[in-house]
Amino acid sequence: MTGDDMSGDTIPARATDELRIARAALTRLLEPGSVLGATAVRVWGALRAVQILTGRDSPGADERQDLRLVLASEGVTLTERTWTTSLAGWAARASSLAPGRDLDSLDRLGGGLLTPEDPEWPSGVDDLGPAAPVALWFRGAGPVPRGSSTLAVVGSRDATGYGQSVTRTLAGGLAARGLTVMSGGAYGIDAMAHRAALASGTGMPPTVAVMAGGLDRYYPAGNEDLLRDVVAQGLLLSELPPGASPTRHRFLQRNRIIAALSAAVLVVEARWRSGAQNTAGHALGLGREVGVVPGPVTSPQSAGCHRLLRESPAVVVSDVEEALALIPGGVDAEHIAGGRGSALHGASSGVAGDAGGPSGSGGSGGSGGSGISGGSPSAARPHDHLTVEELLVYEALPLRNAAPVDKLCAVAGLGPGTVMGTLKKLQRQSLAEQRESGWRRSAAAGK
């Protein structure tokens, strides 16, 4: 492994926790939601998984059998082709791993890495089973909130005045009761939820933003001042390492983290197809309660809300008391007092240091389905039909200057054979075009 060798002298002295370094490497090696990769970590342990998944060693017969059995118990069949293809994808990223550098980068920003071995690890993400993250990066002042005192408020990026007003009232009221308001840091409803929580919050932290990229930069840029305020008073969270760029796939995967970290999800405004609906779908799949604020029947920003009410067990929410009722067992002063969360001690890149708390939330960023059945009346987009592998390659394609296949492999986390085959498929659909220097997104595909 180049860059920062897992056992070399290039690792900063304060990042001597071998297990934390291994998990930091895995956050760059594995794409969010990788069931095979995350299960390998769970079965073999982080240290051994790094050795095998980077190609530095091969699994023994017993190790392969243990992995197959655990995957089978989750309804996943591990074929030789799947294993070979996945190894090729991880190999494309192995040379770029620099876990010591990543840990040092977040440490300088007052953050660090939280792992399942830490006492502060939020147990709610374990409900994701084989899709649970291998670690969570954090940045901010607040502790990790308890899921029982956290409520996610998500919605449309192009929020209406009605949606903004309702979000301010509901998120502010929830935060004033001591709950942590979680969202995705996006424009619109997410941003208003964070602002209202920061203005009225009495909990620790008042708000958390779960991001779809590395925490070393603020995204979207237009929300930089807001996200700085979240860092100062709350927490940012991400399963992606510093420098990682947000993509549509990562936005959708981020939404599962928001749902898992919360006791319930409240959708204020959502179009027919939206990231907010995707978050609600994850919440319902995890057995979380989902509340929906209805809107004008003439508003496209409320079409997804009405769809959720019609096609899922979601319930109508019109005031703070109804939002509080979404939390199992209800909420009282004693409950909130006991739900302040755990401070992040020893979870930063400095093993003995006091790492501040993470803050972040997921929300409406990204695009895609909601997990709710039914067709959509809105116009289809060129990439809506793509499989996960096709979407990863499509997102890796530059808009202007063409990139060689090996660069696309590293960005997408897929092997050369898979990437080449997918590029040909995208080319036939006029979504990719080949140039002398490599491949890029076609002009017809747009952004």
Note the pLDDT of residue 374: 37
Q: How confident is the model at residue 57 (pLDDT cuts 50, 70, 90)?
A: very high
Q: 280-311, pLDDT tens digit by residue?
A: 999 999 999 999 999 999 999 999 999 999 99
Measure the CA–CA gap between 41 and 48, rounded to whole angstroms: 8
Which one is predicted more confidently, 9 or 163?
A: 163
Is the pLDDT score of 361 beyond 60? no
Least confident of 15-24, 103-112, 288-297, 308-317: 15-24
**In the beta sheet, which residues pair with residue 265?**
152, 290
Least confident of 155-164, 230-239, 321-330: 321-330
Rg (C-alpha) for the chain, rounded Å, is 21
Measure the CA–CA gap between 280 and 270, rounded to whole angstroms: 10
Q: 252-283, pLDDT tens digit by residue?
A: 999 999 999 999 999 999 988 788 888 999 99
Q: How confident is the model at residue 9 (pLDDT cuts 50, 70, 90)?
A: very low
Which one is predicted more confidently, 283 or 372?
A: 283
* Mean pLDDT, residues 113-140 taken together: 94
Note the pLDDT of residue 217: 94
Number of C-beta neighbours around residue 127 at 10 A: 17
Is the pLDDT score of 351 beyond 80? no
Phi and psi at residue 45, to the nearest 5°: 90, 155
HEC readout, the chain: CCCCCCCCCCCCCCCCCHHHHHHHHHHHHCCCCCHHHHHHHHHHCHHHHHHHHCCCCCCCHHHHHHHHHHHHHCCCCCCHHHHHHHHHHHHHHHCCCCHHHHHHHHHHCCEEEECCCCCCCCHHHHHHHHHCCCCEEEEECCCECCHHHEEEEECCCCCCHHHHHHHHHHHHHHHHCCCEEEECCCCCHHHHHHHHHHHHCCCCCCEEEECCCCCCCCCCHHHHHHHHHHHHHCEEEECCCCCCCCCHHHHHHHHHHHHHHCCEEEECCCCCCCHHHHHHHHHHHCCCEEEECCCCCCCHHHHHHHHHHHHCCCEECCCHHHHHCCCCCCCCHHHHHCCCCECCECCCCCCCCECCCCCCCCCCCCCCCCCCCCCCCCCCCCCCCCCHHHHHHHHHCCCCCCECHHHHHHHHCCCHHHHHHHHHHHHHCCCEEEECCEEEECHHHCC
Note the pLDDT of residue 407: 82
Is the pLDDT score of 109 beyond 90? yes
Least confident of 47-56, 297-306, 327-336: 327-336
Least confident of 50-59, 193-202, 424-433: 424-433
Whether the model clears a pTM of 0.95, i.e. scores above it, the answer is no
**In the beta sheet, which residues pair with residue 38?**
none
Q: 340-350, pLDDT tens digit by residue?
A: 445 554 455 44
CB contact at 8 A, 151 and 176: no
Q: 175-231, pLDDT tens digit by residue?
A: 999 999 999 999 999 999 999 999 999 989 999 999 999 999 999 999 999 999 999
